[in-house]
Amino acid sequence: MPGLINKSKWSAVPLSVSDITSCVRGYTLAMTASLTYENIEDHPIEGIFIYPLDGSSVVVGFEAMIGNQIITVQVKDKTKIDDCYFDSCNANGTLQSGGEALLMNPLAAGHIVLDEDQERTVLVVSLGVIPPLETINILVSTSSELSTLPNGGIRVSSPPVCSPRVQRSVKEEQAFSPSTARRRDQHHCAVGTHEQTASGVCLAALLEEETINSIDYEFNFHLEIRGPYLLAGVESPSHAIRADADPSARSATNIVVTLADKYTYDCPVEILIYPSEPHLPHVLIEDGDMTPEEYDEHLKGRSDYIKATKKDSSNEKTVDIIRKRLHKDILHNPVVMLNFCPDLRSTTSDLRSIQGEFIFLIDRSGSMSGVNINRVKDAMVVILKSLFPACLFNIVGFGSKFKTLFATSQSYDEESLALACEHVKKIRADMGGTNILAPLNWILRQPMQRGHPRLLFLLTDGAVSNTGKVIELLRSHARFTRCYTFGIGQGACRRLVLGLPAVSRGTAEFLAEGERLQPKVLISPDMFIFQRNSLLF
Write out the H or E segment, with its range, that includes residue 504: helix 494-504
Report the alpha-carbon distance of residue 130 to residue 4 in Å, rounded: 11
For 500-534, what is each residue's pLDDT tens digit? Answer: 998 998 888 888 777 777 776 665 545 544 444 44
* Residue 282 located in a structural domain: no
Same domain, 199 and 241: yes
Q: What is the pLDDT along the chain (537 residues), one digit of tens a residue?
A: 789 999 888 889 999 999 999 999 988 999 999 999 999 999 999 999 999 988 788 899 999 999 889 998 876 655 555 444 444 444 444 433 333 333 333 344 445 666 667 777 888 888 999 999 999 999 999 999 888 887 888 999 999 999 999 976 555 555 544 444 333 333 333 334 443 334 445 677 777 788 889 999 999 999 999 878 888 889 999 999 999 887 666 666 789 999 999 999 989 999 999 988 888 888 888 899 999 899 989 988 888 888 888 888 888 888 888 888 888 888 898 988 888 877 766 665 555 566 889 999 999 999 898 888 998 998 899 889 888 888 999 999 999 999 999 999 999 999 999 999 999 999 999 998 889 999 999 999 999 988 889 999 999 988 888 888 999 999 999 989 999 999 988 888 888 999 999 899 888 888 877 777 777 666 554 554 444 444 444
Same domain, 259 and 315: no
What's residue 405's pLDDT? 95
Same domain, 310 and 441: no
Read off the amino acid at residue 292.
P
Report the alpha-carbon distance of residue 161 to residue 264 in Å, rounded: 15
Residue where one domain finishes, among candidates 299, 333, 367:
333
Same domain, 180 and 303: no
Report the alpha-carbon distance of residue 198 to residue 124 in Å, rounded: 17
In sequence order, what are the residues at sequence separation of 6 or more whose Cβ sits closer than 8 angstroms to the Cβ of residue 455?
Answer: 356, 357, 358, 359, 481, 482, 483, 484, 506, 527, 528
In sequence order, what are the residues at sequence separation of 6 or more whose Cβ sits closer than 8 angstroms to the Cβ of residue 383?
Answer: 360, 518, 521, 523
Same domain, 198 and 307: no
Residue where one domain finishes, among candidates 242, 275, 308:
275
What's residue 218's pLDDT? 96
Read off the amino acid at residue 472.
E
Report the alpha-carbon distance of residue 152 to residue 231 in Å, rounded: 12
Read off the amino acid at residue 127.
L
Report the alpha-carbon distance of residue 499 to residue 69 in Å, rounded: 37
Same domain, 229 and 325: no
Domain count, the chain: 3
* Residue 342 located in a structural domain: no
Q: Are 450 and 420 in contact (CB under 8 A)?
A: no
Q: What are phi and psi of 362, to 5 degrees?
A: -110, 125
Q: What is the DSSP letter of 14?
A: P
* Residue 160 located in a structural domain: yes
Same domain, 294 and 251: no
* Residue 281 located in a structural domain: no
Q: What are the residues facing 243 on neighbouring strands?
A: 257
3-class SS of residue 171? helix
What's residue 168's pLDDT? 66
What's residue 227's pLDDT? 76
Q: What are the residues facing 6 on neighbouring strands?
A: 11, 47
Question: Which pairs from 295-302 meet CB under 8 Å and 24+ separation?
Answer: 295/329, 295/332, 295/333, 298/329, 298/332, 299/325, 299/329
Q: What radius of gyration do the chain's Cα atoms show? A: 26
Neighbours of 373 (CB within 10 A): 22
Same domain, 249 and 396: no
- The CATH number for 200's domain is 2.60.40
Closest CA to 208 of 191, 232, 222: 191
Same domain, 67 and 216: yes
Q: Is the dihedral of CA 266, 267, 269, 274 positive or negative?
A: negative
Report the alpha-carbon distance of residue 161 to residue 48 in Å, rounded: 13
- The CATH number for 455's domain is 3.40.50.410
What's residue 157's pLDDT? 94
For 487-505, what is each residue's pLDDT tens digit? Answer: 988 888 888 999 999 899 8
Q: In angstroms, what CA-CA distances link 94 with 80, 145, 239, 251, 514?
A: 27, 42, 47, 60, 54
Range of the domain at 308: 288-333
* Residue 341 located in a structural domain: no
Q: What are the residues facing 234 on neighbouring strands?
A: 273
Same domain, 71 and 219: yes
Report the alpha-carbon distance of residue 221 to residue 23 in Å, rounded: 11
* Residue 257 located in a structural domain: yes
* Residue 537 located in a structural domain: no
C-alpha angle with apex 3: 266 to 114, nearest 5 degrees? Answer: 130
Same domain, 36 and 105: yes
* Residue 18 located in a structural domain: yes
Read off the amino acid at residue 60.
V
What's residue 514's pLDDT? 72
Same domain, 233 and 305: no
